[in-house]
């Protein structure tokens, strides 16, 4: 039996980067094949070539034994390749049905299409109301649309790009059931991830990429998570160094009954959130994306004010009515999730980006005029201390890679020595080396006596980093508990909340 | 008010609103595809002078309309090339297009300003002569074309696959691209359609309203059309209502003057300013209603920049 | 041979300055060709419009007088556009500034005193700023698009001139012409170079642009405008209020347009006439872009635009080319500039024909 998909010597070059360098591997029919690698290892580029979004500069793709050129996604679908993207290619203002119709290459009368959709949904237990508008659906439900859309084409190969990054552990288990069922029916699955325990649980084979090159093809069940991680990252893993016998100090940041107004149609506000972070403590907030994390960060940073001056206090001083500048002067700094356009201005130089948040704490303004020399000096220090790969303070923020920009942003805030630092997704999309550096910087800042709040969707990160954990779901924050006392299952249930079951009930089966 | 007067009012209003309606319908399709073309006024002027010259030379009104549409398409392609192929700023390019159309039409219209042409006659001359039925059948083909396009565009957007793809492109260009649709291609088609409609809307001025050429004779109607699209929350039938409302505002001076009484004492400059002030008021009213902006295409005015 | 656009790592500063120059040159070349193709004397048109105003020293004073309002309004617009606030109603704010100044001039008619002109200037600035406050209010309170409101108000302000000069402000001795009386001596802008028409507005324009340049490049105000325009979300994070910025952008650009209106009515016009709106407010949009939204660039762009205005008049008398050709040239310049923008972020690479990149 020929391989379902065979890649030989695939090479793809971008200006300044060799994204894929002579990659060769093959996927058998009915096999669940993991494509493993950290961010920037070239996984996405590779699958984009398989799906016809890009063309390889060199190499050969064979499909069921015969060489093919996948000119575009349409050609890929014609061959029988389906893909579920990490960032969903959905249209929020359109209905589920319209979204799926857009993904079909031939025109099918909408009634007939609806019948087929309902059939597929029942067969795989993917429940959804075809007439709902996508904007009203949860992230997990949106993923189901993508999967249904791919399955309607009866694919022989299904590519899943980081499918679990937005799901609760329970939703992940449901997804795995669907994938196993598909594989049993003979559909090959190319599963892209950097989560090792998932790959061990699901996949038959794993191909590991590093820096665009193929490192190894192995059987994940024969490997340990650590051995695969070392292949993925290259050097031995570095653990976070914590100070010995650390003890937590006085309460620094006290949030009591903080609520925000609902701003947009689909925003989730925070509702009656209370917690306390002590000096030296790293406080983690877990949760699935879109459960009020952004509203919480904005409310803490001062971008959105609640009107209650005592809702947020720092060392007993009420901050609730102060704007971002006032809070920064008092020692509360924040780093939002979105780097380009929120935490930094892509078109500005790094030096000008330092003026954005450090101008008052570091005296860069006199009589309404900006002291650009001071900004430049400070930026130089950030670049040096945090090993930011940039040409210098005059580089634009937009020219930095995601990881380097994040290091710069974290450095810009940390070197201001804030007494409270609130960060959202500190290592999202950042390579392992940079992530380790950022984690270490946060631990060091806490050791120096600052209180730190980390909002993240990455449970592994939170469990490794935080002293205390709470879970946010639909704007509500669970009671905080020491990290060691909470199991993954428990956190998963809190993340799903009642919400997860309610949505399963609401969905209309055929 | 007598029936005759009401009929006369309706006929004037329908005539005055037709160019705005046609231009706004074109812009609606363009915006639904995610493109903001502020050059409607300029394309209308190019259409107006083209139609005038053709009808002056050949006397053929339908040829004039066709050529005005072609001229509108040609002008819109400048905008399309800059904003779609070169990702230029849409707002600035639209403004440039209006400045260009104003200058070009004035240049081309040099020497035509005092020359008369004939208006396009009614489509059904027999019924148009009937004192009552003319209210339904007394209009020229351009008026029926506008009405037909309201229904056609509604059907296209709501019921056809091509319309669905167009909406998808305006809603999320990156997703549409990743599924495999040609975002730029769809947007070029939309921009060209908008150009054709603006050209025809411009043709309405010399062919339907005043049978002569005057520099800047569209007098900001293109901008009102752009505002109407917002007012109509990107829906064709609301556009129809909005355009007729504006037709009423624009022709109100006639009835005030004819009716006598205190209204006739209002200076004519205020009447002339009324459509513009009404546009501002309408924009205010629409923004007070909360849901208006949520219907805006999500990608409106943003350049399409696929990462790869 | 194929060409491909390739993203630059850093935006090219060289291209920021080179593309406006290239736009002017391309406009001259392509303009000459196009105008020849459609039956005009293309080369003559370009020569008269772009070169004669420079080579004929009698025209220099006209250049200064025409460039002054363009520079003042263009400076204001460059600040607003930096903040992503699309005030395109500068023409209306210019008109309201002119009307406010006229009102002062008529109210002080026959009086003398050094204070009349400064009072007119203040009235002009306030008039323009107040008219720009309407879009600002509607944008910040109700999120109404400022492009449409500022433009609609321009059309309305033109009607206001017509009304005022036809009825309440009409010159009693004007033989029925719709215009105000000529301002008294104290309300007329002095010329600064004897025997020319160069008035006080010309040096004021240069000072305005220089001050604006300093403020925009060095101050927190300038930083605020730029950061709100480049990334409103980041600006909010950095502690800058978007609404405050919209207000400032509209008040400054409206105030400067109003100032230009005052200088025009007290200088070249010396009375209010229906022909007062001369499209300076619209042309200043091109000036702001051609000057790369930088007040220093605006000075040069203002002069270039003034050249085309003066040259347009020259061409009209010398080779009988319609004045509207000027508008076509100006729009072409803006098209070329916008087309050239892509070169700031991308470079053009020649791509060798297929297969050359594939290893054997």
Chain A: give the shortest CA distance to residue B282, in Å: 23
Distance, CA of C285 to CA of C281 (rounded, Å):
7
- Give every CB contact of residue B97 below 8 A, 6+ residues apart in sequence: B37, B38, B39, B42, B43, B75, B76, B78, B79, C331
Tokens of C247: 């207000």
- Highest average pLDDT, of A223-232, B30-39, B271-280, C193-202, comes from B30-39
pLDDT of the residue at A373: 93
Q: How many domains is chain C partitioned into structurally?
A: 1
C72-91 CB burial, b ≥16 within 10 A, e <16? bbbbbbbbbbbbbbbbbbbb
> Is C360 within a domain?
no
Interface test with B, best of A57, A102, A110, A266 (most B CBs within 10 A): A102
Q: How many CB atoms lie within 10 A of CB C230?
A: 18
Confidence of residue C352 (pLDDT cuts 50, 70, 90): low
> From the list B81, B103, B283, which residue is nearest C145 (CB)?
B283
Q: Tell me the chain A residues in contact with residue B172 when contact means C-beta distances shorter than 8 Å.
A: 89-92
Q: Which of residues 151-180 of B touch C (CB under 8 A)?
A: none
Chain A: give the shortest CA distance to residue C241, in Å: 9
Q: Tell me the chain A residues in contact with residue B180 when contact means C-beta distances shorter than 8 Å.
A: 52, 72-74, 77
> From the list A48, A73, A88, which residue is nearest B180 (CB)?
A73
Q: Flag if B106 and C322 touch (Cβ within 8 Å).
A: yes
* Burial (CB count within 10 angstroms: exposed 0-12, middle 13-18, buried 19+), residue B207: buried
Determine the residue of chain C that is closest to B98 in CA distance. C331
* Burial (CB count within 10 angstroms: exposed 0-12, middle 13-18, buried 19+), residue C166: middle
Summarize the confidence of residues B285-301 as an average pLDDT.
Answer: 75
Q: Flag if C7 and A15 touch (Cβ within 8 Å).
A: yes
Q: What percent of chain C has pLDDT over 90?
A: 67
Cα torsion for C133, C137, C139, C145, to the nearest 10°?
A: -60
Q: Which of A193-197, A451-455, C82-86, C342-346 has the lowest mean pLDDT?
A: A193-197
> Is B54 within a domain?
yes
Q: Which residue has tokens 């709100």?
A: C228
> Is B302 within a domain?
no
C9 part of contact set with chain A, CB < 8 Å: yes
Tokens of B164: 């669905």
B231 part of contact set with chain C, CB < 8 Å: no
> Is C129 within a domain?
yes
pLDDT of the residue at C353: 52
Of the two residues C270 and C9, the one the predictor is more confident about is C270
pLDDT(A227) > 70:
yes
Summarize the confidence of residues C145-150 as an average pLDDT.
Answer: 92
Q: Flag if B172 and A89 touch (Cβ within 8 Å).
A: yes
Q: Flag if B171 and A91 touch (Cβ within 8 Å).
A: yes
> Is C224 within a domain?
yes
CA-wise closest residue to B68 among B31, B103, B101, B32? B101
The CATH number for C85's domain is: 1.10.3470
- Highest average pLDDT, of A43-52, B5-14, C55-64, C258-267, comes from C258-267
- Give every CB contact of residue B44 below 8 A, 6+ residues apart in sequence: B19, B23, B72, B101, B198, B199, B201, B202, B205, B218, B221, B222
pLDDT of the residue at B132: 78
pLDDT digits (tens, 9 = 90+) for A126-152: 888 889 988 888 777 888 888 888 888
Count CB pairs under 8 A between chains A and B: 52
pLDDT digits (tens, 9 = 90+) for B117-135: 888 888 888 787 777 787 7
C227 part of contact set with chain A, CB < 8 Å: yes
Q: Specify whether the CB–CB gap between C272 and C100 falls below 8 A.
A: no
Summarize the confidence of residues C289-304 as an average pLDDT.
Answer: 95
Q: What are phi and psi of B54, to 5 degrees?
A: -65, -45
Confidence of residue A241 (pLDDT cuts 50, 70, 90): low
pLDDT of the residue at A497: 63
Distance, CA of A319 to CA of A310 (rounded, Å):
7
A250-270 CB burial, b ≥16 within 10 A, e <16? ebbbbbeebbbeeeeeeebbb
Q: Flag if B172 and A90 touch (Cβ within 8 Å).
A: yes
Q: Flag if C230 and A395 touch (Cβ within 8 Å).
A: no
Q: Tell me the chain C residues in contact with residue B279 when contact means C-beta distances shorter than 8 Å.
A: 148, 152
* Burial (CB count within 10 angstroms: exposed 0-12, middle 13-18, buried 19+), residue B262: exposed
pLDDT of the residue at C359: 36
Give this complex's ipTM: 0.89
pLDDT of the residue at B63: 96
Chain A: give the shortest CA distance to residue C347, in Å: 12
Chain C: give the shortest CA distance to residue A285, in Å: 21
DSSP-assigned states of every residue in A51-68: TTSS--SEEEEEETTEEE
pLDDT of the residue at A265: 53
- Give every CB contact of residue C356 below 8 A, 6+ residues apart in sequence: none
Q: What percent of chain C has pLDDT over 70?
A: 97
Q: How many CB atoms lie within 10 A of CB A22?
A: 15
Q: Tell me the chain A residues in contact with residue B298 when contact means C-beta distances shorter than 8 Å.
A: 92-93
Distance, CA of B292 to CA of B282 (rounded, Å):
12
Q: How many domains is chain B partitioned into structurally?
A: 1
> Is B304 within a domain?
no
Q: Flag if C357 and A368 touch (Cβ within 8 Å).
A: no
Alpha carbon A375 to its chain's center: 31
Confidence of residue B283 (pLDDT cuts 50, 70, 90): confident
pLDDT of the residue at B5: 79
pLDDT(C312) > 50:
yes
pLDDT of the residue at A507: 39
Of the two residues C225 and B210, the one the predictor is more confident about is C225
Of the two residues C176 and A59, the one the predictor is more confident about is A59
Chain B: give the shortest CA distance to residue A501, in Å: 29
Confidence of residue A423 (pLDDT cuts 50, 70, 90): very high
C223 part of contact set with chain A, CB < 8 Å: yes
The whole domain housing C46 covers 2-351
Distance, CA of A351 to CA of A396 (rounded, Å):
9
Q: Flag if C237 and A343 touch (Cβ within 8 Å).
A: yes
Q: How far is CA B218 from CA A470, A485, B286, C42, in A?
A: 63, 74, 25, 29
Q: What percent of chain A has pLDDT over 90?
A: 44
Q: Which of A273-277, B275-279, B302-306 has the lowest mean pLDDT?
A: B302-306
pLDDT of the residue at C351: 67
CA-wise closest residue to B170 among B10, B300, B264, B281? B300
Q: Specify whether the CB–CB gap between A35 and A202 falls below 8 A.
A: no
Q: Tell me the chain B residues in contact with residue C328 when contact means C-beta distances shorter than 8 Å.
A: 100, 103-104, 107
> Is B307 within a domain?
no
C270 sits in the region (left: phi over 0; alpha: psi -120 to 50; else beta) called left
The CATH number for B245's domain is: 1.10.3470
CA-wise closest residue to C76 among C244, C240, C237, C261? C261
The whole domain housing B279 covers 3-295
pLDDT(A402) > 90:
no
Chain C: give the shortest CA distance to residue B97, in Å: 7
Contacts of B176-182 spanning 24+ positions with Cβ under 8 A: B176/A89, B176/A91, B176/A102, B177/B304, B177/B306, B178/A53, B178/A73, B178/A85, B178/A89, B179/A73, B179/A89, B179/A102, B179/A103, B180/A52, B180/A72, B180/A73, B180/A74, B180/A77, B181/A102
> Is C356 within a domain?
no
CA-wise closest residue to B61 among B196, B192, B205, B198? B205
The pLDDT mean for chain C works out to 90
pLDDT digits (tens, 9 = 90+) for A300-353: 999 988 888 899 999 999 998 999 999 999 999 999 988 888 999 999 999 999
Summarize the confidence of residues A427-444 as an average pLDDT.
Answer: 84
> From the list C147, C326, C327, which residue is nearest B38 (CB)?
C147
Of the two residues B234 and C360, the one the predictor is more confident about is B234
Chain C: give the shortest CA distance to residue A303, in Å: 6
Q: Specify whether the CB–CB gap between C331 and B96 falls below 8 A.
A: yes
> Is B214 within a domain?
yes
Helix axes B90-108, C280-290, angle to 10 degrees: 130
C292-327 CB burial, b ≥16 within 10 A, e <16? bbbbbbbbbbbbbbbbbbbbbbbbbeeeebbebbbb
The pLDDT mean for chain A works out to 86
Q: Tell me the chain A residues in contact with residue B178 when contact means C-beta distances shorter than 8 Å.
A: 53, 73, 85, 89
A390 sits in the region (left: phi over 0; alpha: psi -120 to 50; else beta) called beta
pLDDT of the residue at A499: 39
Of the two residues C279 and B201, the one the predictor is more confident about is B201
pLDDT digits (tens, 9 = 90+) for C235-254: 999 999 999 999 999 999 99
Q: Tell me the chain A residues in contact with residue B171 when contact means C-beta distances shorter than 8 Å.
A: 91-94
Distance, CA of B303 to CA of A457 (rounded, Å):
31
Q: How far is CA B70 from CA A184, A347, A509, B41, B198, in A?
A: 58, 40, 51, 16, 10
pLDDT of the residue at A510: 34
> Is B303 within a domain?
no
Q: Tell me the chain C residues in contact with residue A370 when contact means C-beta distances shorter than 8 Å.
A: 218-220, 223
> From the list B81, B96, B287, which residue is nearest C143 (CB)?
B287
**What do you get for the CA distance between the two ends of chain B, in Å?**
65
Q: Specify whether the CB–CB gap between A449 and A391 falls below 8 A.
A: no
Summarize the confidence of residues A208-219 as an average pLDDT.
Answer: 88
| Domains with residue ranges and CATH for chain A | 5-233 (3.40.50.300), 251-501 (3.40.50.300)
Count CB pairs under 8 A between chains A and C: 73
Distance, CA of B33 to CA of C72 (rounded, Å):
37
Distance, CA of A388 to CA of A404 (rounded, Å):
5
Of the two residues B4 and C154, the one the predictor is more confident about is C154
Distance, CA of C252 to CA of C179 (rounded, Å):
29
pLDDT of the residue at B254: 78
Of the two residues B30 and C358, the one the predictor is more confident about is B30
Strand partners, C69: none
- Highest average pLDDT, of A206-220, A263-277, C123-137, comes from C123-137
DSSP-assigned states of every residue in A314-337: ETTEE-TT--HHHHHHHTEEEE-S
Q: Flag if A89 and B179 touch (Cβ within 8 Å).
A: yes
pLDDT of the residue at A239: 62
Confidence of residue C304 (pLDDT cuts 50, 70, 90): very high
Summarize the confidence of residues A282-296 as an average pLDDT.
Answer: 88
């Amino acid at each position: 039996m020929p391989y379902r998909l065979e890649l030989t010597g695939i090479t793809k070059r971008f200006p300044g980067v060799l994204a894929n360098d002579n990659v060769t591997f093959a996927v058998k029919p009915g096999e669940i094949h993991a494509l493993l690698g950290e961010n920037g290892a070239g996984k996405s580029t590779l699958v984009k070539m398989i799906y016809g979004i890009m063309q390889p500069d060199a190499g050969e793709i064979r499909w069921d034994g015969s060489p093919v050129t996948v000119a575009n996604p349409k050609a890929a679908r014609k061959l029988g390749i389906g893909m579920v993207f990490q960032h969903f290619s959905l249209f929020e203002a359109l209905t589920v049905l319209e979204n799926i119709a857009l993904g079909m290459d031939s025109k099918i009368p909408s009634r007939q299409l609806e019948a087929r959709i309902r059939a597929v949904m029942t067969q795989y237990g993917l429940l959804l109301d075809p007439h709902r508008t996508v904007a009203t659906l949860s992230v997990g439900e949106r993923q189901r649309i993508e999967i249904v859309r791919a399955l309607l084409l009866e694919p022989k190969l299904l590519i899943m790009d980081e499918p679990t990054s937005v799901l609760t552990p329970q939703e992940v288990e449901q997804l795995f059931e669907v994938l196993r069922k598909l594989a049993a029916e003979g559909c090959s699955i190319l599963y892209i991830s950097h989560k090792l325990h998932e790959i061990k649980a699901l996949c038959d084979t794993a191909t590991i990429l590093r820096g665009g090159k193929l490192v190894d093809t192995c059987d994940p069940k024969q490997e340990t998570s650590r051995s695969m991680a070392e292949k993925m990252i290259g050097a031995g893993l570095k653990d976070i160094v914590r100070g010995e016998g650390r003890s937590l100090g006085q309460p620094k940041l006290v949030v009591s009954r903080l609520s925000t107004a609902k701003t947009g149609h689909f925003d989730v506000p925070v509702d009656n959130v209370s917690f306390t972070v002590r000096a030296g403590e790293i406080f983690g907030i877990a949760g699935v994306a879109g459960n009020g994390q952004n509203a919480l960060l904005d409310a803490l940073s001062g971008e959105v004010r609640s009107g209650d001056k005592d809702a947020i206090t720092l060392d007993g001083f009420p901050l609730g009515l102060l704007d971002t500048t006032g809070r920064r002067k008092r020692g509360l700094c924040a780093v939002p999730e979105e780097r380009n356009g929120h935490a930094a201005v892509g078109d500005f130089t790094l030096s000008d980006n330092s003026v954005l948040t450090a101008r008052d704490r570091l005296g860069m303004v006199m009589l309404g005029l900006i002291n650009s020399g001071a900004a430049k000096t400070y930026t130089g220090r950030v670049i040096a201390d945090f090993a930011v790969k940039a040409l210098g303070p005059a580089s634009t923020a937009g020219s930095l890679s995601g990881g380097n920009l994040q290091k710069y942003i974290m450095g810009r805030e940390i070197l201001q020595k804030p007494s409270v630092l609130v960060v959202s997704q500190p290592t999202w999309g950042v390579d392992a080396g940079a992530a380790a550096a950022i984690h270490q910087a946060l631990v060091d800042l806490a050791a120096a006596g600052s209180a730190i709040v980390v909002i993240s969707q990455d449970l592994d990160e939170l469990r490794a980093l935080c002293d205390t954990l709470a879970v946010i779901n639909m704007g509500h924050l669970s009671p905080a508990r020491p990290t060691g006392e909470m199991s993954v299952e428990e956190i998963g249930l809190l993340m799903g909340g009642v919400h997860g079951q309610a949505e399963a009930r609401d969905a209309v089966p055929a | 008010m007598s029936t005759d007067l009401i009929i006369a009012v309706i006929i004037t209003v329908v005539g005055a609103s037709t160019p705005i309606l046609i231009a706004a319908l074109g812009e609606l399709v363009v915006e639904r595809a995610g493109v903001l073309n502020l050059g409607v006024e300029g394309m209308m002027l190019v259409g107006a002078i083209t139609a005038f010259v053709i009808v002056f030379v050949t006397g053929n009104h339908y040829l004039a309309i066709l050529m005005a549409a072609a001229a509108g398409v040609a002008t819109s392609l400048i905008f399309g090339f800059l904003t779609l192929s070169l990702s230029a700023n849409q707002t600035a390019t639209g403004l440039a297009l209006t400045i260009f159309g104003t200058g070009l039409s004035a240049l081309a219209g040099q020497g035509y300003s005092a020359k008369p042409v004939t208006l396009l006659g009614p489509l059904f001359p027999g019924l148009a002569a009937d004192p009552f039925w003319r209210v339904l059948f007394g209009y020229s083909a351009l008026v029926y074309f506008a009405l037909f396009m309201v229904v056609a565009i509604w059907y296209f957007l709501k019921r056809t696959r091509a319309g669905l793809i167009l909406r998808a492109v305006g809603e999320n260009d990156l997703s549409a691209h990743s599924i495999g649709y040609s975002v730029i291609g769809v947007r070029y088609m939309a921009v060209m359609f908008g150009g054709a409609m603006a050209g025809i809307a411009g043709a309405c001025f010399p062919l339907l309203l005043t049978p002569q050429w005057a520099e800047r004779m569209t007098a900001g109607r293109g901008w009102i059309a752009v505002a109407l699209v917002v007012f109509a929350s990107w829906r064709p039938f609301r556009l129809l209502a909005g355009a007729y409302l504006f037709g009423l505002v624009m022709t109100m001076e006639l009835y005030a003057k004819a009716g006598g009484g205190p209204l006739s004492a209002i200076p004519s400059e205020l009447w002339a300013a009324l459509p513009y002030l009404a546009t501002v008021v309408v924009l205010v009213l629409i923004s007070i209603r909360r849901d208006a902006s949520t219907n805006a295409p999500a990608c409106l005015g943003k350049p399409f920049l696929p990462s790869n | 041979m194929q060409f491909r656009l390739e993203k630059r790592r850093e935006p090219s500063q060289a291209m920021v300055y080179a593309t406006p120059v290239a736009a002017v040159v391309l406009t001259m070349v392509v303009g000459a060709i196009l105008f020849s193709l459609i039956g005009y004397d293309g080369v003559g048109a370009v020569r008269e419009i772009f070169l004669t105003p420079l080579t004929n020293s009698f025209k220099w004073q006209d250049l200064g007088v025409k460039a002054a309002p363009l520079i003042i309004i263009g400076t204001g617009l460059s600040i607003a556009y930096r903040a992503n606030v699309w005030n395109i109603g500068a023409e209306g704010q210019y008109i309201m500034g002119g009307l406010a100044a006229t009102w002062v001039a008529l109210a002080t008619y026959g009086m003398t005193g050094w204070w009349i002109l400064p009072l007119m200037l203040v009235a002009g600035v306030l008039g323009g700023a107040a008219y720009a406050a309407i879009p600002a209010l509607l944008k910040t309170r109700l999120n109404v698009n400022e492009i449409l409101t500022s433009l609609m108000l321009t059309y309305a302000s033109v009607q206001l001139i017509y009304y005022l000069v036809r009825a309440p402000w009409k010159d009693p001795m004007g033989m029925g012409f719709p215009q105000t009386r000529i301002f008294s001596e104290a309300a007329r802008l002095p010329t600064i170079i004897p025997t020319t028409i160069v008035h006080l507005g010309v040096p004021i324009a240069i000072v305005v642009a220089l001050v604006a340049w300093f403020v925009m490049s060095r101050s927190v105000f300038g930083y605020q405008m730029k950061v709100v325009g480049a990334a409103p979300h980041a600006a909010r994070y950095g502690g800058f209020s978007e609404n405050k910025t919209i207000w400032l952008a509209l008040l400054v650009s409206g105030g400067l347009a109003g100032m230009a209106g005052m200088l025009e009515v007290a200088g070249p016009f010396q009375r209010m006439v229906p022909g007062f709106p001369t499209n300076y407010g619209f042309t200043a949009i091109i000036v702001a872009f051609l000057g790369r939204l930088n007040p220093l660039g605006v000075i040069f762009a203002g002069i270039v635009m003034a050249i085309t205005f003066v040259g347009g008049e020259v061409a009209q008398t010398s080779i009988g080319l319609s004045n509207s050709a000027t508008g076509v040239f100006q729009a072409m310049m803006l098209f070329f500039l916008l087309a050239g923008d892509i070169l700031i972020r991308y470079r053009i690479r020649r791509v060798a024909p297929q297969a050359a990149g594939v290893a054997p």
